[in-house]
Amino acid sequence: MDFLPLPAPAATPARVLTIAGSDSGGGAGIQADMRTFALLGVHACVAVTAVTVQNTVGVKSFHEVPAETVAGQMAAVVPDIGIAAAKTGMLASAQIITQVAATWQELELTVPLVVDPVSASMHGDALLASSALDALRDNLFPLATLVTPNLHEVRLLVDIDVIDARSQRAAAIALHALGPRWVLVKGGHLPSTQYSPDLLYDGKDFREYPGQRVATADDHGAGDTLAAATTAALAHGFAVPDAVAFGKRWVTECLRAAYPLGHGHGPVSPLFRLWA
């Protein structure tokens, strides 16, 4: 597959900002983002939102970072380092979401923003307070270039059960009405054995990304990796449909390279690029 151009040694790479939670198991969250950004030759700045206590079996608990510290991290890096795109992952609470949205506006950021509305781990453990859904819909979605919910998150956000292509379109329309420029309704949890069909919508046209389904139980961090690779492509100036196509190809390769780890679900792996 084609990759993004790597920066020359000692040349400053494209920069992005990830606003996300830490996964102590190293498979999802910030750690997934950093792995993908590094292997795509992108420098990632980080605003940590929460420290999760988890392994490959589940999330035991998490500790939220104070909202003003999240804002402080954003305000420290943006004017100094400069970013070409940003991504949000686990945001934990309504206070953090509200603060991230306010800070985004105070910093007058106009670069692409990918909002992955992380609500739970693959084990079903909550990573977002249920009281935070309003803040996500009202404060952050209108600032987003692209939102990337999975089917569980679609249900929480717009109360639609996606079971087929028709309901996937209905969900895209309902989500787009919340204000993001583009919506990607991910079909990874649909009951297809051959494809993992994602649907992109901008209020006008639907674009389908069939995607080969990779049969593996080691898919921890897949959503984060898709959103991170898409963000990296946006930082390189790709249009949204091309950035999504790139992200989809990248996560498919990472799923093929996923490895077993611990006693639960191993992580998708961008390390394949080291040998590619």
| Residue 100 touching ligand PXL (CB under 6 A) | no
Span from 4-12, 79-87, 139-147, 220-228 in contact with ligand PXL (CB under 6 A): 220-228
Q: Is 218 in the site for ligand PXL (CB under 6 A)?
A: no
Residue in 52, 148, 168, 252 binding ligand PXL, rule: CB under 6 A: 52
Contact between 247 and ligand PXL by CB under 6 A: the answer reads no
Among 121, 145, 168, 196, binds ligand PXL (CB under 6 A): 121
Name the segment binding ligand PXL (CB under 6 A); options: 66-74, 156-164, 186-194, 216-224: 216-224
Q: Please pick, from the candidates 40, 85, 90, 229, the single residue that binds ligand PXL as defined by CB under 6 A.
A: 90
Measured from the CB atom, is 23 or 64 closer to ligand PXL? 23
The residue within the footprint of ligand PXL, chosen from 29, 41, 117, 188 (CB under 6 A), is 29
DSSP 115-159: E----B-TT--B-B-GGGHHHIIIIIGGG-SEE---HHHHHHHH-
What strand order describes the sheet that includes 43-54?
Answer: 59-64, 43-54, 15-23, 85-88, 113-115, 146-147, 182-185, 198-201, 206-209
Q: Torsions phi, psi of 45, nearest 5? A: -85, 155
- Whole-number Å distance between alpha carbons of 164 and 208: 13
Binding site for ligand PXL (CB under 6 A): 20-21, 23, 28-29, 52, 54, 59, 89-90, 118, 121, 127, 221, 223-224
